[in-house]
Amino acid sequence: MNDSDRRPTSILPRANIDDAVRPTRAEIDLSAIAANYQAVSRYVGVDVWGVVKADAYGHGAVEVGSTLVDAGAKGLCVALVEEGLELRSAGVSAEILVMSGVYRDGLDEAIDAKLTPVIFDRAQLEDLARVGRRGRTARVHLKIDTGMSRLGITLPEVESVCEILASMPHVRVDGLMTHFANADCDDASYTDVQIDRFAEAEAIARRCGLAPTVRHACNSAGAFRFSRARLEAVRTGIALYGVAPFPHDGPALMPAFSLRTAVLALREVPAGTPVGYAGNYRCASTTVLATIPIGYADGFFRRLSSEAEALVAGGRARVVGNVSMDMASIDVTQIAKSVGVAVGDEVVLLGSQRGRMGSGLIRAEEIAARVGTIPYEVLCAVSRRVPRRFVRDAHTRATST
């Protein structure tokens, strides 16, 4: 089996929007992502590398990666070799940094596909030595652990590791990087310590003969808050998808992800009627219930049971009863009285809608707060059985229901 046979066109198959029968779908506004990229670029004033790991936080790595490159991104960041191969198979030619996923023979695959692996552990030096013994060359970035305590060369190891790397003529250390642990926390003191440690590690690396041309330390929050740490490049993920990583700083951003479905069934029930598994919710009065074809198997958390709200005709309707694997119920009583509700009407669980009741917006931050998590998890949780529709300028179009 040759290398081209081994490279996946997709890590996992995603539902095809053209084959979808169920009305549930995610809608990705690529224009919003491009606009967010430009806003971040203007704000930070250095190169912005787009983080498209985890299928671009659920938005679609190939489509988002291509959009970012077209918008001017010089590089993309992934977690796994497989993610980089997916982009290469789709024709993405920009530099792709593999930040954490060089496992087993992954280094050879990364080099074959012209991916840039990150060296973060002394044990990887032997893998690099084998590359040289086979007459091959490698361009890498070196990661320093300045306080995340996850991946990276620790400060006491920096000198010895850099000396070994400098002795390898077939290895070119193009980049030096670290990762901030607390950039989105109110207290900036620990990030300041990490910035100073990174500067110390850089000085050691250069004394050893390494000459990285790009230094990068900032994630989205770090890029917005710590101007002295922007260096030659920043790595932004969540900001490109329209979520502010730190609400007190940064440019205005446009949400790019919406989760939409439609009313599957309607029924009016009397007061006291239990709704859903276990009957934990009972209607306080006569209620119009709408059943919608989405559930926790799609990434709409069960923890949202009787907690979340949805948009119907631009107005808010409460999710009631336990969210099932494939379905949920919403109370549309007031909307039905005001403007009417019919089977087939659009329902928005995440994103914006304009309709007969007005305009509404549900952000990932709101859902995250309701379930006690972070917006990253909300976006990544939407499963691949939910087809993605890629659009442009959705934020300027009215969705009328």
Whether 296 sits among the annotated catalytic residues: the reply is: no
**Same domain assignment for residues 392 and 271:** yes
Give per-residue pLDDT as tens, 243-268. 999 887 889 999 999 999 999 999 99
**Same domain assignment for residues 264 and 232:** no
**Same domain assignment for residues 199 and 267:** no
Q: For residue 201, what are the contacts with CB-CB under 8 A and spacing of at least 6?
A: 144, 146, 153, 155, 158, 176, 178
**Same domain assignment for residues 229 and 366:** no
Return the H-helix or E-strand segment holding 31: helix 30-44
**Same domain assignment for residues 232 and 263:** no
17 in a structural domain: no
Q: Quick one: pLDDT at residue 3? A: 45
- For residue 180, the domain's CATH number is 3.20.20.10
302 in a structural domain: yes
Q: For residue 386, what are the contacts with CB-CB under 8 A and spacing of at least 6?
A: 15, 24, 25, 26, 259, 298, 299
Bridge partners, residue 354, by sequence: 359
- The 3-state DSSP class for residue 361 equals strand
**Same domain assignment for residues 70 and 212:** yes
The Cα 137–Cα 40 span in angstroms is 34
8 in a structural domain: no
- For residue 387, count CB atoms less than 10 angstroms from its CB and return exposed for 0-12, middle for 13-18, buried for 19 or more: middle
152 in a structural domain: yes
**Same domain assignment for residues 77 and 115:** yes
Percent of the chain past pLDDT 70, that is, above it, reads: 95
Q: How confident is the model at residue 26 (pLDDT cuts 50, 70, 90)?
A: very high
Bridge partners, residue 250, by sequence: none
Whether 277 sits among the annotated catalytic residues: the reply is: yes
**Same domain assignment for residues 185 and 89:** yes
Query: Which of 330, 290, 295, 294 is closest to 310 using CA atoms?
Result: 330
Say whether pLDDT at 334 is over 90.
yes
13 in a structural domain: no
* Residue-range definition of the domain harbouring residue 370: 257-396
**Same domain assignment for residues 237 and 262:** no
**Same domain assignment for residues 369 and 276:** yes
- For residue 98, count CB atoms less than 10 angstroms from its CB and return exposed for 0-12, middle for 13-18, buried for 19 or more: buried
**For residues 286-302, average pLDDT:** 98
Domains in the chain, number? 2
Active-site choice (43, 53, 241, 296) = 53
| pTM of the predicted protein model | 0.92
Q: How far is CA 336 from CA 343, 346, 356, in A?
A: 12, 14, 11
Active-site choice (74, 143, 241, 277) = 277
